[in-house]
Amino acid sequence: MIFLFIVVVLLISLMEIIALSPKNNKKDLAVFIALAFFTLSLGIIYFIYQEHLSIADLIIDAISRKAGGINP
Amino acid sequence: MSIKSEKISVRQAMLILLVLTYSPCMRLIPFYTAQKANQAAWLSPIISFLCILVLVLMINSFYKNYQTKEVSFSDIICDVLGRFSGKLLIFMYIIFLIFLTAFYTRFLGERLVGTLFTGTDTRFFIIIVLVFVSFLLNKGLVVIARMSEIVFFILLIAFISISFFLIPNIDIKNLTPISYLDIFPVARASVGVTEIWSYYTLIFFFTDRISNFKKIKKTGLQIAFFSLAIMIVLITTCIGVLGSEIVKLSTFPYIQTVQMISIFGVIERVESVINLIWTASDFILIGVFSYITLHLIKFLFNIKNIVPFKNIFLVLTFVISSAFVTHEFKLLDFSVIVLTPAIMFFCYGVPIILFVVGKVRGKI
């Protein structure tokens, strides 16, 4: 359901961007598509892993590895 | 942006700052300062005050050269560091602000679930807040500023009343002894306080929307003095009532402190008022950070209309905040291990770097 909600919001935003500036919107559209692609990819990863995914853990792990610490 | 182009005053900008720092103060400061300085934690705002004075004067010196133009902090970054380095730094700011917004959104959800609505799905609150933030962003900065004015006075009255009612519960033994041995722990604890105060820098990303900019130094100093008093009272009440050992272990120390209030045994459970104000402060904070991020995206990519990006940004915030942590305790870990250094770098370190580079290049 939440994934559907995300897709609907993205589509509404896409319609907005096309409707608001139909002529000179190439750059806006490119940035929008990049951001939408990133959001959707992250959304799909989140909905696959659900409770097992923790961005905070990934960042903390990366920092502790860089600092030479062991963090299983 | 819709995000209309009306301007706000310096006083309103500073009130936004005070309202948005309320939530991080309650979240981090009692816990962080107690961890680092135990009973002497209440002295840490004094060192932070000196640090923030430096920041206020430094940022004021940036704007001396630009007073006649409508420039934001991002314009100054690009002017001082050069176009490529400046834009790279702005990109890093966007990433940082996305994570910061997602963090506070998740923390808001966790706090409501942890204190009032036990057993409810956190995502429910996250979606509600983000939908309201979307409405807020439609209305623009002026509405955010006016909302902050109203919330600030409610917040101030509630804070003063609660601090007053907590006075009988304060145990002086929890705040003493203090000796010269506490100087270094207090200095370490002051990092947490300085971190929150350094959100001052973020306000300057929309200085192109602030009028009467000559008053920035005076208002900034007034805010610094006011924050000093508030922070000392906050830490004194939390540690004075609960003791540093309990504060260190608590997820929401201020709420636990407020739970101690009992007025003649009739008025109790005052923490619901705190939760209400805290939610309002979080709402303003998420709204302002979203506004700044969108403002920066507009600046970085030279976008004509940022309105369509508002929804996608909020969806991104939702996804990141949902996937942020698996447990609420991890939020505090993340806050101390990652956010504190990141905030210190972006909000305090970058102005210092800009100041030095600006002086060397003769731009400031």
In this prediction, residue B116 carries a pLDDT of 77
Mean of pLDDT values over B58-78: 80
Question: With 50 as the cut, is the pLDDT of residue B121 above it?
Answer: yes
Work out the average pLDDT over B115-138.
Answer: 85
**Mean pLDDT of the B261-289 span:** 82
Question: Reduced to 3 DSSP states, what percent helix, strand and coil does chain B have, rounded to the nearest 5?
Answer: 80, 0, 15
Question: DSSP characters for B313-354?
Answer: HHHHHHHHHHTS-SSHHHHHHHIIIIIHHHHIIIIIIHHHHH
Chain A neighbors of B314, CB-CB under 8 A: 9
Mean of pLDDT values over B123-143:
87
d(CA B80, CA B144): 30
**For residues B70 and B93, what is the distance between their CA atoms, to the nearest angstrom?**
21
What pLDDT is attached to residue B330? 78
**Nearest by CB to A54, which of B305, B316, B325?**
B325
* Residue of A35, A36, A56 lying closest to B324 (CB–CB): A56
Q: Average pLDDT of B311-330?
A: 83
Element (H, E) at A64: helix A55-66
pLDDT score recorded for residue B22: 86
Q: Which residue of A has its CA nearest to B327?
A: A54
Asked if B320 is an interface residue toward chain A (Cβ–Cβ < 8 A), one would say yes
> For position A71, what pLDDT does the model report?
47
| Mean pLDDT, range B204-222, rounded to an integer | 81
Instruction: Work out the percent of chain B whose per-residue pLDDT is above 90.
Output: 7
> Closest partner residue to B324 among A6, A20, A55, by Cβ?
A55
What local confidence, expressed as pLDDT, does residue B68 receive? 63
The 10s digit of each residue's pLDDT in B277-318 is 888 888 899 999 999 999 898 888 888 777 778 888 888 888
Which residue of B297, B315, B324 is in closest CB contact with A6? B315
Residue A13 tokens, joined: 């935003």
Residue B1 pLDDT: 45
Q: How confident is the model at residue B2 (pLDDT cuts 50, 70, 90)?
A: very low
Task: Examine the pLDDT at A2 and tell me if it is beyond 70.
Answer: no
**Chain A contacts of B324, Cβ < 8 Å?**
54-56
The pLDDT mean for chain B works out to 84
CA of B307, closest CA in chain A: separation in Å? 8
- Comparing C-alpha atoms, which of A65, A4, A12, A35 is closest to residue B303? A35
- pLDDT at residue number B67: 66
- Taking CB atoms and an 8 Å limit, are A31 and B334 in contact across chains? no
All residues of chain B having their beta carbon less than 8 Å from the beta carbon of residue A46 are 319, 322-323
pTM: 0.88
What would the pLDDT profile of B169-182 be if each residue is shown by its tens digit?
Answer: 888 888 888 888 88
CB contact under 8 A, A25 and B316: no
Distance from C-alpha of B137 to C-alpha of B311, rounded to nearest angstrom = 10
Q: Does B311 touch chain A (CB under 8 A)?
A: yes
Contact A9 B305 (CB under 8 A): no
Per-residue pLDDT at A66: 63
